[in-house]
A = this chain, B = another copy of it.
Amino acid sequence: MDFEASKEKFIQTWGVLGGSWGINRTMAQIHALLLVSHVALSAEDIMEQLQISRGNANQNIRDLIDWGLVFREFKTGERKEFFTAEKDIWAVAKQIVKERRKREIEPVRKILSELKNTKTNKESDAQKHFVKMIGNIEDVVGKMDNSVEKLIKLDESAIVGTLFKIFK
C-alpha cells in the first residue's frame, strides 16, 4: 500500500471508530486528517481533502475545538485560520472520556438519585425488587464513575504506570 492509500484508509478507519464512540464520522475524519498531517491545515484544505462542504467542515471543526481535540492556529501574514490536532493519543482518549462522562454519566447519576425518592408500597414484591435494582445500579454506576474520574486526572505516564500495575 502506498502513502496516499494508507492515509486514506487511516482516515476512513478513524471515522468509523469515532462513529461508535460518540464522535460523528466526519468529525473523526477531520481529526484523523489533522493527526497525520505534519502541518496545520486550513478549512479549505480540509474541505478539499475530505470532499465535504464548507458548512460541514466549519461545524465539525468547531465541535472538535469544543471537545478540546483540535486547536486554532494563526500564521503571520495569513488571514485565514489553520487547525492542528491534539497529537498525544492518551490526551485524546482522556478528553473523550471526560466529555462523555459529563454529557452522559452525570445526568444518569442525577436521575438515579432522584429515583431513590420513589414512594413505595413495602408490601409489593415488584416494588421491593425495583428499589433494590435501582440501588444496585446506582452503586455500580457510581463506582465506575469514580474510577473514571480519577483516571482522567492522571497524566500520561501515570496512566501507563497504573494500567501496568493493575494488569501485570
Chain A interface residues toward B at CB < 8 A: 1-3, 5-7, 9-10, 13, 17, 20, 22, 35-39, 87, 89-90, 93, 100, 103-104, 108, 111-112, 114-115, 117-121, 124-130, 133-134, 136-137, 139-141, 143-144, 146-147, 150-151, 160, 162-163, 165-167
Which B residues are CB-close (under 8 A) to A124? 3
Question: Which are the 5 A-B pairs with shortest beta-carbon distances?
Answer: A38-B129, A6-B118, A89-B140, A150-B167, A147-B163
Count this chain's copies in the assembly: 2
Given contacts A3-B127, A147-B166, A166-B147, is CB(A35)–CB(B133) below 8 Å? yes
CA distance A119 to B136 in the complex (A): 53
Set of chain B residues within 8 Å of A39, measured between Cβ atoms: 126
Q: Are B17 and A104 in contact (CB under 8 A)?
A: yes
The smallest beta-carbon distance between A80 and chain B, in angstroms, is 21
Q: Which residues does chain B contribute within 8 Å of A22, judged by CB atoms?
A: 20
Question: In the bound complex, do residue B162 and residue A166 qualify as a contact, i.e. CB atoms below 8 Å apart?
Answer: yes
Point out the residue from B37, B93, B144 that lies within 8 Å of A93, measured CB to CB.
B144
Partner of A6, one of B1, B125, B130: B130
Best-surrounded residue of A115, A120, A139, A141 (most CB of chain B within 10 A): A115
